[in-house]
Chain A
Amino acid sequence: MTDAKPVLELEDIVKTFPGVRALDGVSFSVMPGEVHALMGENGAGKSTLMKVLGGIHQPDGGAIRMGGEQVVMAGPLEAKARGVMFIHQELSLATELSVAENVYLGELPRKRFGRVDWATLRDRTDAILKKLRVSFDARTRVGDLSIANQQMVEIARALTVDAKAVIFDEPTASLTDAEKVVLFDVIADLKASGVGIIYISHRMEEIFRITDRITVLRDGQYQGTVATAEMTEESVTQMMIGRKLDLSRNVARHALGDVALAVRGLSCGALYRDVSFEVRRGEIVGFYGLVGAGRTEIAETLFGLRDPSAGQILLDGEAVRIRSPADAIARGISLVPEDRKGQGLVLGMNCRDNMTLPQVDDLTAGPFMAEGAEVAIFDQYRDRLDIRTPNWKQRVGNLSGGNQQKIVIGKWLSMHPSVLIVDEPTRGIDVGSKSEIHKLLRELAAQGYAVMVISSEMPEVLHVSDRIVAMYSGRVMRTFTAGEVTENSLIQAISGI
């Protein structure tokens, strides 16, 4: 590999935005057949760097070289023409169209008079899908595919051209463990064919599993490039955040209170069947399973967004029927939803208004809103949760993922709930904020909240939970206590073994 020229070389890239040096002298290179991890906390400059590479931003200084030759990425089309392909974290697919149309979107093969050459289109697409070893074909409507398979369609897109460098941006965010394995196989194939790969992820286990080298950014500054084999999770994390991080298992447990929430034989059509569990005050119950195991749907039922078809929900021992989210909130149930931006926050509104949204009805003076009281509530939870924002007037959309999540959590704490359901508490949140959120969840449990945590990340579930409910295909397979659970037994339970 030593005498091969790097497929992609960045030298001293500088990009400034008004008031901010988003990239300050970033240099690294990607060799053919290398998987190169790009790491850094949210806001470290990874996205900006990728935009520079993709021709969306023009760098203010530095050079990009491909195969030793200096290039200027004038725009996304040029990047594509030079064989630099992006697989984005957020899917951008036309869900009503077929897989084939999506894969070749923008460059559908044509016959005379601009008619689409369907036969060629399908043949080419099927050839690519075959390489990806997926179970669907070119004619499938994208909207009918699972999120994981939609991700595969995105990857198929990158394979339509003779790619020299492929950039994966958090590709596993919505994939299950089994689906990740397929993805890693695809990456291994790309690697074997001499493509250079940039792999952006927050997930350490993946980084150590598939990458050859790691480049770390912090606040737009280049921190260095290291060989993955010489690093540990701790040393990489330290490079990213510049301090030591406590990833040890939480052991300080405390006495549990009464059962706050009990579910008996709850079913909801085909989504989940005969689910029973209970959550005590002061306890965190983790829900682990594959995507589609029915965990989010249970949370939605408890929050009044779905009606159960059978079974009982008991709050403090009393059977209740929860008709709507408003009803759930009135009964002391709160839900921090999976999709923070889509379901949890009103991005156009400011921090204060988001935080007081559920209780603004009660914060009135005569016919008007009591804005002073609202600010007081915001200030209280900003201090308690250490939300970093200049003031309450800041639009929530401008905050980082971790701070946004704290706004959602603060919103519910200010309602003094008894049951807090947190669905994917740290999705898309950087390492530093992640451990803060975990610590916060533990503290909330210690203060007597009954907490349900739904997560697709095994380390997270293991780290925060007192008990773990393992689900497979709509059923509870097993409930573990923190003391008895092992990674192996957990994986077996959620795989239906």
Chain B
Amino acid sequence: MQAGALSKALKRGAIWGFIVLELIFFSIAGEYLSLSGKAFMDFDNMLLLLKQSAPIGIIAMGMTIVMVNGNIDLSVGATFAIAAIILLDSMTWPVFAGLGDWVIPVAWLLALTAGAALGALNGFIVWKTGVDAFIVTLGSMLGFRGVVFMFNGENPTSHLNWTLVDFAEAQPLGLHTPTWFLLAATLAVWFLMARTVHGRNAYAIGDNREAAVNAGVRVGPHMMINFMIIGFLAALSAVVFYSESGSVNPNDGQLYELWVITAVVLGGTKITGGAGDVIGTFGGVIAIQLLRKGLGHIGADTSTVNLAIGLILIAVLILDRQLNVRGKEALKI
């Protein structure tokens, strides 16, 4: 039991230790390598880092509950793009012409509803057909992306609403708007997972689906709700990001699913389900963003960043396995 607690503490702390390591490394390396004169650990820079973490981070919260539940969702990047298009395009629809700035909440609502609906579609198929979520969402990833291209071909969809841009660029109480959304999503999903029956059942289903069924837990609805949550959060991520940028390319959001899964796995969620939490995921999101930003800071290009993150992901999983195996051996008496 002692060894279990120790390995758990190590695992929990590992991502935060890694973040501290990154901060120290980039601060020191930045002194010698950075082209700009600014320090890496500059306060504004850190605030910006949180803001930039938001698009991936918000989706990662949804991915945490979906993966703890024993599923996965590969379609989040495409859902993100669809929601973005709906957000920007709907503001130009003639039906809403008389609304003035009241078109903003309407557009948000449309985009978020669309995200939840796409998630519901995924969840419904997984529930009713019993096909593995990996396959179902692989299909919907391609399908949703197809819809994005059907809408406007290769052309971007743009609409700038300055009220919206002002809102998105605001810094209430010092933090950027997207950061607030990230924190709110983290907190909401944390409550859901740690304090509600739905969360408890999600863990049980992910750990041992058969035992959960035998305990009378209705597995299908729980899975569907989780897919709706991640669809909603993918749309929320788009809403937050495109409120500011005002223009969406049909390729936007591609590979988001992989970044999100990387962050969730780095944060300690088991890919087979049953274990993980959003606090760890939050750490994973920050760690990845730090790495991207830090490597940029010392002058590395994007390809180097990808290589580094790939290596680190594998290294972390090896470490995690070592910790697990060691813990288990001590328990087997």
Which residues of B are found within 8 Å of A361, using beta-carbon distances?
197
Which residues of A are found within 8 Å of B289, using beta-carbon distances?
none
Which residues of A are found within 8 Å of B207, using beta-carbon distances?
346-349
15 intermolecular pairs with C-beta atoms under 8 Å apart: A17-B333, A305-B213, A326-B217, A343-B214, A345-B211, A353-B204, A357-B200, A357-B211, A357-B215, A358-B217, A364-B197, A369-B200, A395-B4, A398-B1, A398-B4
Q: Tell yes or no: B331 within 8 A of A by CB.
A: yes
Would A20 and B214 count as touching, CB distance under 8 A?
no
- Given contacts A346-B207, A360-B201, A337 and B214 within 8 Å (CB-CB): yes
A240-284 near B? 1/0 per residue, CB < 8 Å: 000000000000000000000000000000000000000000000
Would B212 and A369 count as touching, CB distance under 8 A?
no
Q: How far does the alpha carbon of A328 sit from the alpha carbon of B215 in the complex, in Å?
A: 10
Question: A18-B330, A349-B207 given. 7 additional CB < 8 A pairs?
Answer: A325-B216, A344-B211, A346-B203, A346-B207, A348-B274, A390-B1, A398-B331
Q: How far does the alpha carbon of A19 sit from the alpha carbon of B207 in the complex, in Å?
A: 29
Would B208 and A347 count as touching, CB distance under 8 A?
yes
Q: How far does the alpha carbon of A398 sit from the alpha carbon of B203 in the complex, in Å?
A: 18
Would A348 and B275 count as touching, CB distance under 8 A?
yes
List A residues 340-398 near B (Cβ within 8 Å). 342-349, 353, 357-358, 360-361, 363-364, 367-369, 390, 394-395, 398
Q: How far does the alpha carbon of A384 sit from the alpha carbon of B191 in the complex, in Å?
A: 33
Q: How far does the alpha carbon of A80 sit from the alpha carbon of B210 in the complex, in Å?
A: 36
Classify chain A's interface size.
35 or more
Q: Tell yes or no: B3 within 8 A of A by CB.
A: yes
Q: How far does the alpha carbon of A326 sit from the alpha carbon of B274 in the complex, in Å?
A: 21
Q: How far does the alpha carbon of A18 sit from the alpha carbon of B3 in the complex, in Å?
A: 9
List B residues 184-217 near A (Cβ within 8 Å). 191, 195-197, 200-201, 203-204, 207-208, 210-217
Would A369 and B208 count as touching, CB distance under 8 A?
no
Would A349 and B2 count as touching, CB distance under 8 A?
no
Q: Tell yes or no: A28 within 8 A of B by CB.
A: no
Q: Tell yes or no: B38 within 8 A of A by CB.
A: no
- Given contacts A348-B275, A364-B197, A369-B195, A358 and B215 within 8 Å (CB-CB): yes
Q: How far does the alpha carbon of A411 sit from the alpha carbon of B215 in the complex, in Å?
A: 9
Q: How far does the alpha carbon of A326 sit from the alpha carbon of B218 in the complex, in Å?
A: 7
Q: How far does the alpha carbon of A303 sit from the alpha carbon of B204 in the complex, in Å?
A: 19
Which residues of B are found within 8 Å of A342, using beta-carbon distances?
208, 210-211
Would B333 and A345 count as touching, CB distance under 8 A?
no
Q: Tell yes or no: A58 within 8 A of B by CB.
A: no
Q: A329's contact among B204, B216, B274, B330, by CB below 8 Å, is which?
A: B216
Q: B216's contact among A18, A20, A326, A353, by CB below 8 Å, is which?
A: A326
Chain B residue with minimal CB distance to A16? B333
Q: How far does the alpha carbon of A305 sit from the alpha carbon of B213 in the complex, in Å?
A: 9
B176: min CB distance to chain A, Å: 29
Would B214 and A353 count as touching, CB distance under 8 A?
no
Q: Tell yes or no: A166 within 8 A of B by CB.
A: no
Number of residues of chain B lying within 8 A (CB) of chain A? 28
List B residues 19-61 near A (Cβ within 8 Å). none
Which residues of B are found within 8 Å of A360, using beta-carbon distances?
197, 200-201
Residues of chain B having any CB pair with chain A under 8 Å: 1-4, 191, 195-197, 200-201, 203-204, 207-208, 210-218, 274-275, 330-331, 333
A18: min CB distance to chain B, Å: 6
Would A368 and B211 count as touching, CB distance under 8 A?
no
Chain B residue with minimal CB distance to A343? B210
Would A368 and B196 count as touching, CB distance under 8 A?
yes
Which residues of B are found within 8 Å of A335, using beta-carbon distances?
214
Q: A349's contact among B204, B214, B333, by CB below 8 Å, is which?
A: B204
Would A357 and B210 count as touching, CB distance under 8 A?
no
Would B2 and A19 count as touching, CB distance under 8 A?
yes
Which residues of A are found within 8 Å of B197, using beta-carbon distances?
360-361, 363-364, 369
Which residues of A are found within 8 Å of B196, using beta-carbon distances?
364, 367-369
Which residues of B are found within 8 Å of A368, using beta-carbon distances?
191, 195-196
Q: Tell yes or no: A176 within 8 A of B by CB.
A: no
List A residues 3-21 near B (Cβ within 8 Å). 17-20
Which residues of B are found within 8 Å of A344, using beta-carbon distances?
211, 214
B223: min CB distance to chain A, Å: 15
A416: min CB distance to chain B, Å: 14
Would A346 and B208 count as touching, CB distance under 8 A?
yes
Which residues of A are found within 8 Å of B3, using beta-carbon distances?
18
A308-349 near B? 1/0 per residue, CB < 8 Å: 000000000000000011101110000101000011111111
- Given contacts A349-B203, A369-B195, A22 and B210 within 8 Å (CB-CB): no
Which residues of B are found within 8 Å of A337, using beta-carbon distances?
214
Chain B residue with minimal CB distance to A57? B329
A343: min CB distance to chain B, Å: 5
- Given contacts A18-B2, A369-B195, A398-B331, A324 and B208 within 8 Å (CB-CB): no
Q: How far does the alpha carbon of A266 sit from the alpha carbon of B198 in the complex, in Å?
A: 36
Would B218 and A324 count as touching, CB distance under 8 A?
yes
B210: min CB distance to chain A, Å: 5
B3: min CB distance to chain A, Å: 7
- Given contacts A360-B201, A367-B196, A368-B195, A20 and B211 within 8 Å (CB-CB): no
A367: min CB distance to chain B, Å: 6
Chain B residue with minimal CB distance to A353? B200
Q: How far does the alpha carbon of A330 sit from the alpha carbon of B218 in the complex, in Å?
A: 13
Would B211 and A358 count as touching, CB distance under 8 A?
no
